[in-house]
Amino acid sequence: MILLSTSSLDWYWIHRTFLFAKKAWFDGIDLSLANDNYDLWDENYIKWLSDSIWVKVLSITVSSKWLDEDTIDKIISLSKILWAQVVNFSPPYFKDLNSSWFSKKLSKIKKENKISIAIKNVEPEFLLLVIPKYRNSSLLDIKKITGDTSLDLSILDWSSWVDIIKAHKILWTSIKNIYLSDKDWLLPWNAWWWISNLPLESFLMKLKTTAYNWFISLKVNPVELWVWNEDLVFQNFEWVISYYKKYYLDYK
């Protein structure tokens, strides 16, 4: 199933993002929670939008930079009301000095609820060249936290085919959501002569042959969609859906 990440249209009001998703024939929404967008946290409003527009919120994505246990409880409450199937978290941020609760909390939530709690890969960033910005953020580490993961393709090393295959090989059956974009959140075909920087076409075909049946979420820079021109937004969405069908859904 292909979802539209709300972050791809965060220049629009959220109700328009739902309308875009329906008109463009996405299978659902990946709700990307932002700390400064209060509409996204209004569970009754988002539920009303989902029901009235007939577009399901199947995935929720959240940063871990400002999380505490109460905020996680609020996110899980939101996921239950929306019937989301997966909630995606990043590993603990380095400023969270007491992060020992993180793994225990998420593992307990997964055990007690019928929902996938996935840990997302993050870009390997360092402060002063030695301090990692995220704790326990290697592919092997994120897989250990709850057993479920999500894979953001835009932050993988695009210089080598081995890296994207290696990531898939390490995470494989644990992956519940794949954020589809090229390097730096470009549209998949906008890199050079309509071929992606990352070997996305081969990667999507490999997903199909390995029976991947969870979510693929379009997550790109809003500028890539030409958000100031509605006709071009829908033209880009049409191409994305065709790309998804060609290299994944209809690939045999």
Give the global pTM: 0.87
Q: Distance between CA 178 and CA 58 in Å, rounded?
A: 13
Lowest mean pLDDT among 32-46, 112-126, 174-188: 174-188
Determine the Cα angle at 175 with ends 131 and 215, to 5°. Answer: 120
Tell me how far CA of residue 139 lies from CA of 66, 111, 159, 213, in angstroms: 22, 22, 18, 20
Measure the N-to-C terminal CA separation of the chain; round to a whole number of Å. 17
The per-residue pLDDT for 192 is 42
Phi-psi region of 185 (alpha: psi -120 to 50; beta: other; left: phi over 0): left
Query: Residue 204 belongs to what H/E stretch?
Result: helix 200-209
Q: Which of the listed CATH numbers 3.40.50.740, 3.40.1160.10, 3.20.20.150, 3.20.20.450 matches domain 2-249?
A: 3.20.20.150
Q: Where are the domains of the chain?
A: 2-249
Q: Distance between CA 1 and CA 105 in Å, rounded?
A: 29
Cβ-based neighbours of 42, under 8 Å, separated by 6 or more: none
Residue closest to 234 by CA, chosen among 19, 7, 51, 6: 19
Task: Give me the DSSP letters along 72-129.
Answer: HHHHHHHHHHHT-SEEEEPPPBTT-S--HHHHHHHHHHHHHSSSEEEEE-----EETT
- The bridge status of strand 126-127 relative to strand 131-132 is antiparallel
Structure confidence at residue 44 as a pLDDT band (50, 70, 90)? very high
At 169-213, the pLDDT tens digits run: 889 899 999 999 866 555 665 544 444 455 788 889 999 999 999
Cβ-based neighbours of 63, under 8 Å, separated by 6 or more: 33, 35, 90
What proportion of the chain, given as a percentage, has pLDDT over 70? 81
